[in-house]
Amino acid sequence: MNSTPIPESRDLPARLDTALTALTEPSGPTVTFTVLPDPESVTEARHFTISRLCEWGVGALVDDVGLVVSELVTNALRHSGGVARWRRPGSPVRQRSNGPAHQRPSGPAHQPNQPNRFADPTDPIGSAPSAIRLRLVHEAPWVLCGIIDASPAAPRRKEPDYIAETGRGLHLVESFSVRWGWRGLAHGKVVWALFRTP
């Protein structure tokens, strides 16, 4: 199946420039989730996203953002490197969140008998280049999600193949978000998608 690399893009509405920066720097009302090299990570990232959207009062976006997060996390796990480079399941991750207390993570991942999956947003992305992270930023009426991974390679859009079971991820991202793109980082990249509340 043929694929085409996507050119780097920062094409966001002007007032969201700071939101794009917040995806890669610990600032603003962001929440961060560490993605583990585990098939369950896709589901857990989606549940984390849905929970945050509901806390922010933008539950109308849960289907679209949840689908896009699932696709982007799947792509990052599939294409960003070997499992040995990622944090192993069960290893502790500090739980922190920027923003007001009502935006701080809560829910099943905080139960004492479960491993803590929330990343410390004060750790610069460059300090842990092998980590895969999901970050969410809410700047009403917008929600911006980003997946940060260690691969510097541009995302590649595959030509549609109606028989193949894979290869439609970026087409779905494009269909369900207002716009999307990616930006190179010192240690990898962030792939982002933008949503607007109805």
Residue 83 has which token pair? Answer: 């499992």
* Angle CA 190–74–108, to nearest 5: 95
Q: Is the pLDDT of residue 88 over 90?
A: no
Domains along the chain with CATH numbers = 3-196 (3.30.565.10)
Percentage of the chain lying above the pLDDT 90 cut = 25
Reading the block at residue 184, the tokens are 């190179």
- Residue 139: strand pairing partners: 142
Mean pLDDT value across residues 23-47: 83
Q: What is the pLDDT of residues 183-192, one digit of tens each?
A: 888 888 889 9
Q: Facing residues of 147 across strands?
A: 134, 191
Give the Cα-Cα-Cα angle 124, 50, 85 (nearest 5 degrees).
Answer: 40
pTM above 0.85, yes or no: no
Give, in order, the Cα–Cα distances in Å from 137 to each of 27, 52, 89.
10, 10, 26
Rounded to a whole number, what is the distance in angstroms from the first to the last CA of the chain? 36
Model confidence at 45, in pLDDT bands (50, 70, 90)? very high
**Poorest-pLDDT segment among 55-69, 114-128, 133-147:** 114-128
- Regarding predicted confidence, which is higher, 157 or 121? 157
